[in-house]
Structure 1
């Protein structure tokens, strides 16, 4: 399995881990903390701007918007906002070290049997665009019960720590043309109940953003907002077998005499028999009772089928309830925070190893040194994004490149550089107001 770009440490823990290496003197440790604070503050401001841009671009497509629409946007403006939102959202996901789920992975997930013993169907005709992103891929082993708990089996499956879902529904013309009313199941607050109509988040033309945690690869289909529960073959066989056996018992014990009378009557009516059949009041009453018993049995079996399906839907809803992290515009805040955290950790690690090295290093040497340090210290393999980390440090002006070798500014000089950049962010020139 490929190494993950995600750094599984909080930035405060990462800073403390660097200090605990004892490569810095007491004075340098304080300087390093101050420098890290400046890096974090700078990136926080930058990502605040990204968040505002995302919110503005997504507003016309947000199915949960609770604000007034002041200006009617033209089709061209809406298209530009959608394109800008998609591009920005993809950048944030990449900065948060999410990986795109390939079409092959998604198809494999749809074909694999669900770990929760629920068979789901997804109508892809509802969607104009569907993209899944995941972070933290690893193998997990679980013990599942089979044959009513008589047999236990250990299975190994691929699990994702986080999954982000981007879905754009087709325009209203598509829905009006097909006149579809489908049963939706959405476990998040405000979603529809089993058997309900289309939820607000699935309105034509809307764009749905969702974030989940701890999702098995085989269960990705349960994250679609229009997924429908289907009975598995084994469940149909269990219910069908029970109905056949029960029906045979009812026919023999409750309707035996009535069926004989009814068969004779039908044979006489269709000319198959010339023997006239006389139905007494007692036989007629028995026939009525038998018919009522048969109707009650059919209703009972149908209710059993519906109840089993409802139990599956409840299992799906319960499962999604604990996996859902956020929805639509709320996802931005979660992902922006995650992206900011990852960017900070990458910049801090790259600067730390350059400054303690005390000599110029190539990007390849620095990349190997960081990955090896992480594996030795935490027994965890990562795919460190060295190019991204160094580009940030170069942009901040605290790392220089000369003949393929990178050198870090001393910490005091780096602090002064970042402080000067911060002072220039709000350098507004005051001009007199014309009367």
Structure 2
């Protein structure tokens, strides 16, 4: 492919929305191949922001297959161990539910002091360090990861489903953390750009969009005094912004991450800016050509107040029309974002704690169940930590989930429950596993007895 065509394709892929005007100009300007290539290269550098692209879904600890489905798939391969594994799974679920319930109640108790939905008065200043630390641990147990500064910057610079970029006023936050759980690719229908529609005659196309399956925000705004001191009182979100806000969203495009923030200002696309400015510029040019000579005394007739008034009235009409179109375009953007977020928002504040605990409980049980099941089903092999890790990851991949399985965490759960037999690890701590250690588990009957003993000992009054 010639270099200039390659560059043209790069520019077209960079953004279907911000380059329409450039394409229209280039289409009608006669340029040599060399001149065209140089111009395209300059435009590519100028429009560097939209070039942020998200790579394929990276390895993740989060297991996207539901607990019920994993249980069903394992039992289908369990053979004679099916009944025993069913009972072991039930006991594991019950034990972790009890553990996580205690964590849930503790988090809710701490959070009640600055819960925005509380009926009690919330102080403007408070210390949420203890809650944030405990909440972060619950998120880590559920395989949530914090959004990096690089990921956030890519979202701010790019656009995906929403044809708009938003400026987030980060300085208004006293505290802010954003977490993600799971990444996947979904299908979306995208309308063609103006150039592709008019010149190339292209219709809507189906594209792959990379999304975060779940997003959680933890945020606290500055007090009113901060906005007053910074002369930005107009941006103060009001008394409803008091407290520590928790927000849970689903299926958020990676390049549209900024739409979940409550304090944003829209940046219009260049093509929409041109749609607004073009009528104004055209109107001014028409007025200039029609009445300019009269105003300068080159045409026939006299320059009267009525004429000047007519010109000013026409000019004001063009300005008002352009301003109205700008407001309608901005309104359409915000309406689109608001409508989409209505269906993507899953929970707020204390309800987020409930869902996070549920996610964490499910992940913990899935890890323990997978580790125990494959140690049982492959008992003749006597797995090491590495071979078990590889076995489970291949099994998950076979069922459509590319996961970096946390085998050490899963085995430590079984070790803590006393379900592992230890061989070849005399020199190591009893509470750790060596990579080369051969790992076996208690027989199902002994495992059930052990789990039942733990359950009976929970309330030993």
TM over 0.5: yes
Contact (CA 8 Å) 1:122, 1:227: kept in 2 or not? Answer: yes
Partner of 1:99: 145
Tell me: CA distance 1:14–1:181, structure 2 relative to 1, closer, same or farther (3 Å): same
State the number of aligned residues.
Answer: 384
Partner of 1:426: 459
Asked if 1:375 is matched to 2:397, the reply is yes
Look up the SS of the partner of 1:24 in the other structure: helix
Partner of 1:131: 177
Listed as ranges, the gaps of 5+ residues in structure 1 are 184-196, 265-276, 429-435
How far has the Cα of 1:202 moved from its partner? 3.3
Partner of 1:364: 386
Partner of 1:39: 92
Match 1:175 to one of 227, 232, 254 = 227
Residues 239-268 of structure 1 deviation map (CA, whole Å, 9 limit, x = unaligned) = 111112124445666xx49x94x777xxxx
1-structure distance, mates of 2:206, 2:152: 24
Listed as ranges, the gaps of 5+ residues in structure 2 are 1-56, 426-436
Look up the SS of the partner of 2:219 in the other structure: strand
Tell me: CA distance 1:215–1:278, structure 2 relative to 1, closer, same or farther (3 Å): closer
Look up the SS of the partner of 2:457 in the other structure: helix
Asked if 1:341 is matched to 2:400, the reply is no
How far has the Cα of 1:238 moved from its partner? 2.0
Partner of 1:146: 193
Asked if 1:300 is matched to 2:321, the reply is yes
How far has the Cα of 1:351 moved from its partner? 1.0
Contact (CA 8 Å) 1:64, 1:201: kept in 2 or not? Answer: no
2-structure distance, mates of 1:288, 1:168: 53
Asked if 1:8 is matched to 2:85, the reply is no
Look up the SS of the partner of 2:232 in the other structure: coil
How far has the Cα of 1:199 moved from its partner? 5.2
Asked if 1:56 is matched to 2:109, the reply is yes
2-structure distance, mates of 1:67, 1:412: 52
Name the Cα RMSD after superposition.
3.0
Contact (CA 8 Å) 2:65, 2:401: kept in 1 or not? Answer: no
- TM-score after normalising by structure 2: 0.75
2-structure distance, mates of 1:147, 1:34: 61
- TM-score after normalising by structure 1: 0.79
Match 2:336 to one of 288, 312, 315 = 315
2-structure distance, mates of 1:104, 1:314: 28
Alignment of 1:15-414 (within 5 A): 15-21=71-77, 23-25=78-80, 28-67=81-120, 78-79=126-127, 82-140=128-186, 142=188, 143-147=190-194, 149-150=197-198, 151=202, 157-182=209-234, 198=237, 200=239, 202-203=241-242, 206-249=243-286, 256=291, 260=294, 288=309, 291-359=312-380, 360-376=382-398, 378-402=399-423, 403=425, 404-414=437-447
Look up the SS of the partner of 2:233 in the other structure: coil
Residues 361-399 of structure 1 deviation map (CA, whole Å, 9 limit, x = unaligned) = 3221211121122223x1432211111111111222222
How far has the Cα of 1:336 moved from its partner? 1.0
How far has the Cα of 1:298 moved from its partner? 2.8
How far has the Cα of 1:107 moved from its partner? 1.4
How far has the Cα of 1:356 moved from its partner? 2.2
2-structure distance, mates of 1:286, 1:331: 65
How far has the Cα of 1:353 moved from its partner? 1.2
Tell me: CA distance 1:12–1:231, structure 2 relative to 1, closer, same or farther (3 Å): closer
1-structure distance, mates of 2:404, 2:58: 9
